[in-house]
């Protein structure tokens, strides 16, 4: 059961397309890790580098501290599951599962027991003799998984494995997949474009953008304590307030946003520096301007629109500095805000994040 | 497994040794050697003769200079007649190609876009002339346009509509080149994303404007490829031309007749020129096809709107089909009508001895013997050629399909097309030149040399569809197989090959049909054994028309069966 | 800039029904979302409006004028497709100028409008790129520009954001609405995504099997779904079956010995199902009993919690049934699995429908 380590891996396609840049991270033995990010962020390239279908331009990959530089895809002992299944249509489910041990020259009795175990593990043993064209998409993916398990691979690489399934089945399959991986003791790396799938299924999630690793952490790390501006932007929704740090001594730093001063989480940015305060849209509280509120930690603004969406309401507010921010509130929030109504946006300092102002500007830092 | 280690049984032993040998074959060094052999065979069979011809032209330039340009008696008459024949060939090819485009493009559109009863019949009708041996086709066209049995009956004339010569050559060439343009764009048109046209519509463009500005640029390459194919086929055709040309000789016919007169140096020079011209055309298309622009961004709204009207469209479609029937389909199959006319005797005099039955089955020199012998020879050659070509073309196709370096890939891919564009008589001549007494001196004209010549010019017909099949197999299957530890050759055997079945059959049929129908190269490379298309030419020259019609009809039936088989195979592939 | 009316439109493909008896009226400058699952007739409706299909029956009117017989190229409808359908052999600028070119509009003027559009939709600098060189989001922006620059006064979009990643989709929803409103275009936008429909539109038409089952503002539709189908399509719900009890001017649903206060006109003894949308289930700690002012406070146990970004998805057990709840992550409530909590709802949160026996039989078949 292997630990996977990437060390400064860079992959350049052609002369200058940098698909992956200086990527380093560790996936522990038995861990389920998802890779997410906008399309073209390098997540699929990373998976292919691990599989060995492409080789890094620079840097190294280690399985259990052994470099796999010279190991071809055949010798890495990995299982690869594709969005479009790649099961062999001319072989039965049983024969598909037997493919790995067969081409590795295993004895028939061993093949039988490996395949039987695999088919039972994915609950497709009742369809062993059927050919793929007569089965449905979820069964195809089960067959693909059985094939991996029978091959005794210890690393499972999943490329959008649920991408071709219907939404309802996807959700069931997420649970099924995670349980299977844990029961078989595999290390899994799962590429997906679906955030909620990644947050649900994995132990850790790696956020990537423009070929770089942005953050690797648990679901709750990414949602509640993102350590950079892109994660705050990409996972869920946040607004970004440009500010200047006034006081960096307390647990909560004081920053100036427009004309107002508010307290935010102190994340070590020194006094006088420019900062970006990230506030998740669920974490703002919006009050009528004239309401009495206990805290002074607020920004004044004017309502642009209070939009009812059933699931929730979104209140768009224009701050004094003309920035428009959005607040998500409960659909049954007692107050309906009218256009141009003056409001205060109350901010709980402990729910904020405060990042160094990016050199290239906020918009460029968020470019996907 | 408590009862001790069980001994692996025979099946497992066999599997293990198979896997081990496949693993050995998959080693990079072995694979590289395999690739080298593949390219080597290609060079030996296809490029070798051409290069040798080129080499000889340079080495023995003195000889050629003397015979071609400075003959003591004729001066440069040989060169002048070469130029005349090439000029004639070009003129004919150009006219024929224009017809093919003007009628073929709307025809492709009809076949790709309309649903109507009998569509698949029309589709088969369009493809048929490509499968029928050109000598049979030429004969049929001659009967229809050139004799008093055909079209002239309609206006009660005693002579044919056209006598042997340029016009008749054009008619014959139109008949067999027609499918190339239609075929090469029909599939592309059918695969065009209709949504793009819908987008164009909502933006305010009438159908004709959409076809011109959106669809046409996307079929451009296919159209150009089909045009070049039609052009070069016309330029290089021998069998039909021999029948309809009379004294007006095109370049490939000149090659054949000079060859019969054993004028080796002049023949070599003419073959060389034809090859060079074809290569230039091929290179031009491969390098510039994408860049050739259709520069009309100007729109003539009123005019194009008129062209888009239902009336104009319907008229255009009717004309295309009518012209196809008159100039391609009916002349191509007229020989069957002729056969029935002359079945039991002359339709004019009623004389039994002039009829087919007598000539073929009853006369002292009954032709059925010749026909059967030639047919067997043809089938043997075609079969051998098909098997050999599958063996040598599959690795080549796989190699090209998998190649990562785009420049090398493009280059190799271009080389593959060479036998497709150069006149088969010129290619046949260069094979005769290399393998025969003027070169390696390994073979003398005869069965073996015909086989080699046929392998050479059918090579593209075999490799092309196979490259297509390999390209259509997703690389993820290979990756999946590799991830489970399958060596490259094991993956090929267990995963790729099952996908390839229909592709292989299609390639085999194409190769077989093409070999069956060749005339020019066969005449040059043959000894005493005649193939059936050559026999046909001989029958024609001996004026035993009813026997020729009988042989032609057999050939047409064989081609038709092949075509139907090909359709079944490719259709099943689409369903899967 | 145009009022659109569909007057009893029916379209059959051979024997298969595309849409039947569609009556719709979209006011000048209004943004209509056509909401429904795949196969509900959305695309057919979009194609009919644009003239890419002609109806089997009925009329289509633009500003009161019958355009049913007008071919697509004469309707001046800007159409945005799900798969963008940019012309692959033309660069971004030529794509956008295709409409003006074939309509013989003043090209220099159109070029000026196109330039303004490019900066408005944030693709300045990509004008010379070909479609395969830009991202999906950019492609759809170009397609939008192309539709608008061709002088369209009605914008028809067929699930325009479906092929895009969630993040881009969310950004483009806001951009789309703003753009349409800034240019005061009339707009019809088909989508399968309820949140998208709610987010962009002034009015929503819910489609099912080729017919409109409900029409209204997002809030009207959400608060008063006409059927179980619509209620379920609008979001995740839990169905609670029981019997109606009318008592002292109050209505209740009796389910497993629990009395849940609801709002309904149904008479006592009627078998009914009450749907509760997951987001309207509020979770409070047991200690808050008495301090909160809900109509129903029922004790429940949390059996599963997962956080998928903006919401916690919580499964509760109450009266032998799993109840689905969604809580915005900003709210401070204990959501640990296994803990006892209050499942709090108001009577107006339930959407109540009678259970008709034969209907139930049908379901079982």
Question: Which CATH number characterizes residue A284's domain?
Answer: 2.40.50.140
Residue A176 lies in a domain: yes
| Shared-domain flag, residues A254 and A321 | yes
Of A103, A107, A108, the CB nearest to B484: A103
Judge contact between A188 and A82, C-beta under 8 A: no
pLDDT, tens only, B84-128:
999 999 999 999 999 999 999 999 999 998 888 888 899 989 988
Q: CATH code at B397?
A: 1.10.3720.10
Q: What's the CA gap between A55 and A13, in Å, rounded?
A: 10
CB-CB under 8 Å, A283 with C330: yes
B208 lies in the same domain as B282? yes
- pLDDT over 90 (residue A148): yes
Shortest Cα distance from B199 to chain C (angstroms)? 7
The pLDDT score that the predictor gives to residue B8 is: 61
Tell me, what's the pLDDT at A24? 95
Residues 6+ apart with CB under 8 A from A43: A35, A36, A37, A191, A208
Distance from CA of A168 to the nearest CA of B (A): 26
Chain A: touching chains (3 or more CB pairs < 8 Å): B, C
Q: What are the tokens at B233?
A: 């086929």
pLDDT, tens digit, for every residue of B185-221? 998 999 899 999 999 999 989 888 898 888 888 888 8
- Interface check C71 vs B, CB under 8 A: yes
Tell whether the torsion through CA atoms of B480, B485, B488 and B491 is positive or negative. Answer: negative
pLDDT at A89 over 50: yes
A7 sits in the region (left: phi over 0; alpha: psi -120 to 50; else beta) called beta
DSSP states along A190-204: EE-S-HHHHHHH-SE
Residues C273, C241: contact at Cβ < 8 Å? Answer: yes
Contact between chains at B203 and C150 (C-beta distance less than 8 A): yes
Helix, strand or coil for residue A105?
coil
| Nearest-neighbour CA in chain B from A209: distance (Å) | 25
Q: Is residue B351 part of a domain?
A: no
Q: What is the pLDDT of residues B314-367, one digit of tens each?
A: 999 999 999 999 999 999 999 999 999 888 888 888 888 888 888 889 888 889
Chain C residues within 8 A of A311 when measuring between CB atoms? 195, 198, 235, 279, 326
C86–chain B nearest CA distance, Å: 7
* Shortest Cα distance, chain C CAs vs residue B203, angstroms: 5
List the structure tokens of C61: 């009117």
B518: in domain: yes
- Under 8 Å CB pairs connecting chains A and C tally to 89
CA B558 to chain CA centroid, Å, is 16
By the 10 Å C-beta count (0-12 exposed, 13-18 middle, 19+ buried), C298 is classed as: middle
Asked whether residue A158 is domain-assigned, the answer is: yes
Q: Could you report the predicted ipTM of this complex, rounded to two decimals?
A: 0.88
Whether B297 contacts chain C with CB within 8 A: yes
H or E element: which one contains A138?
helix A137-150
A233 part of a folded domain: no
Query: Residue A81's closest CA among A148, A171, A4, A133?
Result: A148
Tell how many helices (H) and how many strands (E) occur in chain C: 9, 20
B328 falls within a domain: yes
Residue with the bigger pLDDT between C14 and A167: it is C14
Do the domain assignments include residue A264?
Answer: yes
Residues B47, B184 within the same domain:
no
Which residues of chain A make contact with B483, given a CB cutoff of 8 A?
51, 73-74, 76, 78-80, 151, 153
Across the B:C interface, residue pairs with CB atoms under 8 Å apart total: 75
A239 pLDDT tier (thresholds 50, 70, 90): very high
In angstroms, what separates the C-alpha of C59 from chain B's closest C-alpha? Answer: 19
CB contact under 8 Å between C308 and A195, yes or no, is yes
Question: What pLDDT, on a 0 to 100 scale, did the predictor assign at position C363?
Answer: 45
Query: How many distinct structural domains can be found in chain A?
Result: 2
C89-92: long-range pairs with CB below 8 Å, 24+: C89/B214, C89/B217, C89/B218, C89/C130, C90/C130, C90/C131, C91/C127, C91/C128, C91/C129, C91/C130, C92/C123, C92/C126, C92/C127, C92/C128, C92/C129, C92/C130, C92/C131, C92/C134, C92/C142
Q: How far apart are CA B433 and CA A117, in angstroms?
A: 66
Residues B30 and B162 in one domain: no
Please report the DSSP string for C208-227 in residue order: ETTEEEEEE-HHHHHHS-SS
Q: Are residues A52 and A200 in the same domain?
A: yes
Instruction: Please tell me whether residues A211 and A294 are part of one structural domain.
Output: no
CB atoms within 10 A of CB A133: 9
Q: What is the pLDDT of residue C359?
A: 53
Same domain, B114 and B251: yes
- Give the C-alpha separation, A168 to A162, whole Å: 11
Q: Is residue B287 part of a domain?
A: yes
pLDDT tops 90 at residue B281: no
Of residues A17, A44, A43, A40, the one with CA closest to residue A367: A40
Considering A164, A195, A224, which residue would you say is the last residue of a domain? Answer: A224
8 Å CB contact between B256 and B250: no
Q: Which of A224, A259, A286 is the last residue of a domain?
A: A224
Residues A266, A323: one domain? yes
Residues A175 and A99 in one domain: yes
**A126 and A68 fall within a common domain:** yes
Residues B365 and B443 in one domain: yes
Q: How far apart are CA B85 and CA A112, in angstroms?
A: 72
Does residue B393 sit in the same domain as residue B518? yes
pLDDT above 60 (res B2): no
Q: Which domain holds residue B212?
A: 70-341
From A167, A193, A224, give the residue that closes a domain: A224
Residue B1 has pLDDT above 50, yes or no: no
Which of B277, B308, B341 represents a domain boundary (last residue)?
B341
Residue B286 pLDDT greater than 90, yes or no? no
Question: Is residue A153's pLDDT more than 90?
Answer: yes
CATH of the domain at A116: 3.40.50.300
Q: What stretch of H or E contains A319?
A: strand A313-319
Residue B457 lies in a domain: yes
Domain shared by B457 and B477, yes or no: yes
Of the listed ranges A260-269, B286-295, C25-34, C355-364, the least confidently predicted one is: C355-364
Average pLDDT, chain B: 88
A30 pLDDT more than 80: yes
Q: Does B201 touch chain C (CB under 8 A)?
A: yes
CB contact under 8 A, A236 and C307: no
B: neighbours with 3+ CB pairs under 8 Å? A, C
CA distances from B556 to B236, B335, B416, B562, C166 (A): 22, 10, 28, 10, 60
Q: Does residue A199 sit within a domain? A: yes
Is residue B526 one of the residues assigned to a domain? yes
For residue C70, give how far its alpha carbon lies from the nearest alpha carbon of chain A (Å): 37
Q: Supply A214's token pair.
A: 């942005």
Q: Which chains touch C (3 or more CB pairs under 8 A)?
A: A, B
**Residues spanned by the domain of A351:** 238-358
pLDDT score of B6 more than 60:
no
Last residue within a domain, chosen from B293, B315, B341: B341
Q: What is the pLDDT of residue A298?
A: 94
Of the candidates C218, C277, C307, the beta carbon closest to that of A199 is on C307
Two tokens, residue B525: 């490379």
| Residues A168, A139 share a domain | yes
Residue A368 domain-assigned?
no
Task: Tell me if chain B has a CB within 8 Å of the CB of C73.
Answer: yes
Q: How far apart are CA B123 and CA B26, in angstroms?
A: 43
Q: What is the pLDDT of residues B167-185, one digit of tens each?
A: 999 999 999 999 999 988 9
A237 vs C310: CB contact, 8 Å cut-off?
yes
Q: Pick from B316, B341, B366: which residue ends a domain?
A: B341
- C-alpha to C-alpha distance for B488 and B492, rounded to whole angstroms: 6
Chain A residues inside the 8 Å CB shell of C135 = 39-40, 368
**How does residue A95 score in pLDDT terms, banded at 50, 70 and 90?**
very high
Among candidates C165, C309, C329 on the partner chain, residue whose Cβ is nearest the Cβ of A193: C165
Residue with tokens 């001989």: B538
Number of domains composing chain B: 2
Contacts of B499 in chain A (CB under 8 A): 90
For B421-482, the DSSP string reads HS-HHHHHHHHHHHHSTTTT----SSHHHHHHHHHHHHHHHHHHHHHHHHHHS-HHHHHHHH
Q: Is residue B330 domain-shared with residue B363, that is, in the same domain?
A: no
Cα atoms in the Cβ-side hemisphere of radius 13 Å centred on A332: 15
Is there a domain that residue B352 lies in? no
One domain for residues B521 and B498: yes
Average pLDDT, chain A: 93
Same domain, B189 and B330: yes
pLDDT < 70 positions in chain C: 1, 357-365
Quote the tokens at residue A87. Answer: 């099961």
B572 has pLDDT over 60 = no
- Domains of chain C by range and CATH? 4-231 (3.40.50.300), 236-364 (2.40.50.100)
The reply to whether A31 falls in a domain is yes
- Which one of A40, A330, A331 has the shortest CB-CB distance to C135? A40
Same domain as A208, residue A268:
no
Say whether both A210 and A294 belong to one domain.
Answer: no
Structure tokens at B485: 């530890």
Position B296 scores a pLDDT of: 58
The reply to whether A243 and A137 lie within a common domain is: no
Residues 298-357 of A with CB under 8 A from C: 307-312, 314, 328-332, 351
Residue A42 lies inside a defined structural domain of this protein: yes
Beta carbons within 8 Å of A159's beta carbon, 6+ residues apart: A44, A47, A80, A81, A82, A83, A191
DSSP class of B362: I
Same domain, B158 and B280: yes
Please indicate whether, in this complex, the C-beta atoms of C79 and B202 are within 8 angstroms of each other: yes
Verify that A186 and A297 share a domain, yes or no: no
Tokens 């090859």 correspond to what residue? B275
Q: Which of C234, C309, C346 sits opposite A235 (nearest CB)?
A: C309
Output DSSP code: residue A254: E
Indicate if A214 and A261 belong to the same structural domain.
Answer: no
- Domain assignment present for residue B551? The answer is yes
* Residue A294 structure tokens: 């206990």
From the CA of A82, how many Å to the nearest CA of chain B?
Answer: 8
B551 and B412 in one domain? yes
């Amino acid at each position: 059961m292997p630990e996977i380590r990437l060390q400064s891996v860079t992959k350049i396609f052609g002369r200058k397309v940098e698909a992956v840049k200086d990527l380093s991270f560790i996936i522990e033995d038995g861990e389920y890790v998802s890779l997410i990010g906008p399309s073209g962020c390098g997540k699929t390239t990373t998976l292919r580098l691990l599989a060995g279908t492409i080789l890094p331009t620079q840097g190294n990959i280690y399985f259990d501290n052994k470099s796999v530089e010279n190991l071809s895809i055949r010798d890495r002992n990995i299982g690869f599951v594709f969005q479009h299944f790649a099961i062999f249509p001319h072989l039965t489910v049983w024969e598909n599962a037997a493919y790995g041990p067969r081409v590795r020259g295993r004895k028939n009795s061993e093949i039988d027991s490996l395949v039987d175990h695999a088919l039972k593990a994915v609950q497709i043993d009742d369809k062993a003799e059927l050919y793929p064209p007569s089965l449905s998409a979820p069964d195809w993916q089960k067959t693909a998984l059985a094939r991996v398990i029978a091959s005794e691979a210890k690393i499972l690489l999943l490329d959008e494995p649920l991408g071709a399934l219907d939404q309802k089945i996807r959700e069931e399959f997420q649970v099924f997949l995670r349980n299977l991986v844990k029961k078989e003791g595999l290390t899994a790396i799962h590429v997906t474009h679906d955030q909620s799938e990644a947050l649900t299924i994995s132990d850790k999630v790696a956020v990537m953008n423009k070929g770089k690793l942005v953050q690797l952490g648990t679901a709750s790390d990414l949602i509640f304590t993102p350590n950079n501006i892109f994660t705050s932007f990409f996972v869920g929704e946040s607004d970004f307030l440009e500010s200047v740090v006034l006081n960096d001594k307390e647990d909560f730093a004081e920053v100036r946003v427009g004309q107002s001063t508010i307290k935010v989480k102190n994340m070590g940015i020194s006094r006088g520096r420019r900062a970006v305060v990230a506030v998740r849209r669920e974490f703002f509280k919006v009050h009528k301007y004239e309401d009495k509120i206990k805290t002074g930690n607020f920004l004044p603004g004017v309502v642009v629109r209070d939009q009812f969406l059933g699931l929730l309401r979104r209140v768009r507010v224009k701050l004094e500095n003309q920035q428009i921010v959005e607040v998500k509130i409960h659909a049954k929030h007692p107050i309906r805000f009218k256009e141009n109504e003056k409001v205060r946006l109350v901010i709980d300092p402990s729910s904020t994040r405060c990042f160094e102002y990016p050199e290239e500007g906020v918009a460029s830092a968020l470019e996907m | 497994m408590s009862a001790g280690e069980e001994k692996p049984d025979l099946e497992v032993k066999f599997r293990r040794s198979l896997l081990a040998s496949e693993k050995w074959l998959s080693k990079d060094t072995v694979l590289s050697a395999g690739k080298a052999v593949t390219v080597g065979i290609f060079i030996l069979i296809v490029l070798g003769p051409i290069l040798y011809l080129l080499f000889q032209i340079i080495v023995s330039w003195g000889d050629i200079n003397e015979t071609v340009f400075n003959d003591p008696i004729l001066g440069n008459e040989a060169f002048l007649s070469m130029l005349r024949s090439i000029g004639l060939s070009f003129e004919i090819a150009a006219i024929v190609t224009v017809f093919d485009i003007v009628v073929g493009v709307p025809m492709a559109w009809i076949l790709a876009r309309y649903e109507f009863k009998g569509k698949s019949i029309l589709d088969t009708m369009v493809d048929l002339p490509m499968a029928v041996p050109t000598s049979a086709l030429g004969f049929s066209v001659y009967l229809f346009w050139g004799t008093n049995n055909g079209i002239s009956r309609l206006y009660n004339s005693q002579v044919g509509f056209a006598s042997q010569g340029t016009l008749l050559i054009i008619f014959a060439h139109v008949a067999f080149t027609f499918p190339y343009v239609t075929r090469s764009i029909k599939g592309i048109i059918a695969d065009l994303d209709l949504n793009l046209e819908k987008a164009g519509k909502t933006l305010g463009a009438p159908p004709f404007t959409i076809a011109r500005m959106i669809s046409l640029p996307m079929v451009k390459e296919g159209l150009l490829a089909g045009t070049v194919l039609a052009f070069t086929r016309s330029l290089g055709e021998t069998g039909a031309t021999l029948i309809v040309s009379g004294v007006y000789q095109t370049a490939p016919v000149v090659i054949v007749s000079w060859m019969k007169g054993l004028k080796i140096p002049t023949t070599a020079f003419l073959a060389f020129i034809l090859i060079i011209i074809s290569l230039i055309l091929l290179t031009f298309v491969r390098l510039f096809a994408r860049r050739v622009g259709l520069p009309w961004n100007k729109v003539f709204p009123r005019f194009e709107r008129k062209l888009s009207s239902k009336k104009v469209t319907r008229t255009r479609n009717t004309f295309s089909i009518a012209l196809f029937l008159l100039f391609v389909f009916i002349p191509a199959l007229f020989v069957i009508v002729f056969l029935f006319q002359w079945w039991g005797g002359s339709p004019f005099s009623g004389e039994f001895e002039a009829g087919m039955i007598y000539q073929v089955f009853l006369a002292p020199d009954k032709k059925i013997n010749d026909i059967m012998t030639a047919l067997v020879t043809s089938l043997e050659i075609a079969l051998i050629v098909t098997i050999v070509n599958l063996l040598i073309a599959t690795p080549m196709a796989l190699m090209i399909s998998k190649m990562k370096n785009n420049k090398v890939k493009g280059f190799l891919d271009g080389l593959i097309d060479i036998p497709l564009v150069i006149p088969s008589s010129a290619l046949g001549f260069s094979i005769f030149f290399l393998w025969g007494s003027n070169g390696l001196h390994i073979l003398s004209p005869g069965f073996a040399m015909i086989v080699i010549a046929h392998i050479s010019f059918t090579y593209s017909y075999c490799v092309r569809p196979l490259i297509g099949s390999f390209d259509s197999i997703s690389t993820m299957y290979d990756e999946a197989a590799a991830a489970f530890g399958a060596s490259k050759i094991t993956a090929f055997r267990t995963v790729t090959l099952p996908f390839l079945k229909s592709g292989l059959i299609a390639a085999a049929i194409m190769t077989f049909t093409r070999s069956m129908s060749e005339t020019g190269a066969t005449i040059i490379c043959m000894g005493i054994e005649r193939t059936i298309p050559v026999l046909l030419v001989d029958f024609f020259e001996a004026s035993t028309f009813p026997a020729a019609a009988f042989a032609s009809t057999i050939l047409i039936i064989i081609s038709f069966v092949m075509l139907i088989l090909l359709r079944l195979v490719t259709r099943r592939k689409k369903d899967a | 800039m145009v009022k659109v009316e569909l007057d009893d439109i029916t379209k059959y493909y051979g024997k298969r029904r595309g849409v039947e008896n569609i009556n719709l009226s979209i006011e000048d400058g209004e943004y209509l979302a056509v909401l429904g699952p795949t196969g509900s007739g959305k695309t057919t409706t979009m194609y009919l409006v644009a003239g890419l299909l002609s109806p089997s029956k009925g009329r289509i009117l633009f500003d009161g004028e019958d355009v049913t017989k007008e071919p697509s190229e004469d309707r001046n409808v800007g159409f945005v497709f799900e798969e963008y359908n940019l012309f692959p052999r033309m660069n971004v600028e030529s794509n956008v100028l295709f409409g003006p070119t074939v309509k013989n509009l003043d090209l220099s003027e159109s070029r000026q409008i196109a330039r303004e559009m490019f900066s408005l939709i944030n693709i300045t600098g990509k004008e010379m790129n070909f479609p395969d060189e830009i991202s999906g989001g950019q492609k759809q922006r170009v397609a939008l520009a192309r539709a608008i620059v061709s002088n369209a006064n009605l914008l028809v979009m067929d699930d325009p954001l479906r092929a895009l990643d969630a993040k881009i989709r969310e950004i483009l929803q806001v951009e789309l609405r703003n753009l349409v409103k800034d240019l005061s275009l009339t707009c019809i936008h088909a989508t399968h995504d309820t949140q998208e429909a709610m987010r962009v539109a002034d009015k929503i038409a819910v489609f099912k099997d080729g017919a409109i089952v409900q029409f209204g503002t997002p809030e009207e539709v959400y608060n008063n779904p006409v059927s179980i189908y619509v209620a379920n399509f609008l979001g995740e719900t839990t169905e609670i079956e029981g019997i109606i009890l009318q008592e002292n001017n109050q209505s209740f649903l009796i389910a497993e010995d629990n009395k849940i206060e609801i709002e309904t006109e149904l008479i006592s003894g009627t078998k009914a199902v009450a749907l509760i949308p997951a987001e309207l289930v509020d979770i409070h700690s047991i200690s808050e009993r008495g301090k909160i002012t809900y109509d129903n406070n029922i004790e429940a146990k949390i059996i599963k919690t997962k956080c998928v970004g903006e919401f916690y998805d919580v499964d509760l057990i109450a009266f032998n049934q799993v109840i689905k709840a969604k809580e915005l992550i900003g709210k401070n409530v204990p959501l640990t699995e296994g803990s006892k909590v209050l499942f709090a709802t108001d009577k107006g949160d339930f959407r109540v429908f009678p259970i008709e026996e034969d209907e139930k039989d049908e379901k079982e078949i």
